[in-house]
Amino acid sequence: MSNPEFKPKFVRFEDLILFEDEAIILVNKPLAMASLDDKSNRNLNHLAKIYHPEAQLCHRLDKMTSGILLIAKGKENYRTIALQFQRREVSKTYMTLVKGVHHFDEQIVDLPLLVTTNKRVVPHKNDGKKATTIVTAEKRFRNFTLVRCQPITGRTHQIRAHMTALGCPIVGDALYGGEDLYLSSLKRRYKPNGRREERPLNQGYLLHSMSLTFRHPISDEEMTFTSPYPKNFSVVLRQLGKYDEG
């Protein structure tokens, strides 16, 4: 199960900004920070409105999903971008890590999804909403695969549910059966620290919104932005490179 003690560090909104002009703000959302209200004033929407009163989130990321997020300044810019999302003209790329060696090559996962009463999302042919994800194996280790996911639709938990349907839930995603990753499972001569219990390397499930492509609401210029991996994802990849190279 994911580490329940993991909490976001205090951050300044200004430190999250990747790009800003008169119409938009691109930020790198940290782990464990909600996009919208979560009974806390530390959600990204609240911080954005303090920074700019007319800020509006154009989409959202789950609390434990990190990465790039687009914010519009003002109602007109928001409407222009929202229309692009509605027409599925915005390209999104996520990176994730799953257990096992997989050879996905732009595999199209086209499974309608239904939200259940226990907050899980499951494939459901009759009652589910259309959901499509393109899945590609970016790098294979001995026991894990780094996967690039391009969601065509934007359903709740879409990538998490689709990866589970493929038989490889995301590392650390306890809701969908994903297991945590421990250094002791990678390092042959691992020596435990007797003073405390070993903590998982992943600190939550590993799903990162890596890039976003859209048209600027004023100039109509196509723009692409990327965001770096958060620390926990970088740590996992570094340890896999040391102890799990294929």
Task: Give catalytic residues, as residue numbers.
Answer: 62
Neighbours of 112 (CB within 10 A): 17
Query: 92: which 2 tokens?
Result: 């999104």
3-state class percentages of the chain: helix first, strand second, coil last, to nearest 5: 20, 30, 50
CB neighbour list of residue 29: distance below 8 Å, 6 or more residues apart: 16, 35, 44, 61, 65, 66, 67, 68, 69, 209
Cβ–Cβ < 8 Å for 227, 124: no
CB neighbour list of residue 138: distance below 8 Å, 6 or more residues apart: 95, 145, 146, 147, 148
Give which of 61, 52, 46, 60 is closest to 25, Cα–Cα: 52
Q: Reduced to 3 states, what is the DSSP secondary structure of residue 18?
A: strand
For residues 163 and 178, what is the distance between their CA atoms, to the nearest angstrom?
10
Neighbours of 200 (CB within 10 A): 20
Give which of 170, 173, 167 is closest to 1, Cα–Cα: 173
Residue tagged 């994903």 (tokens): 178
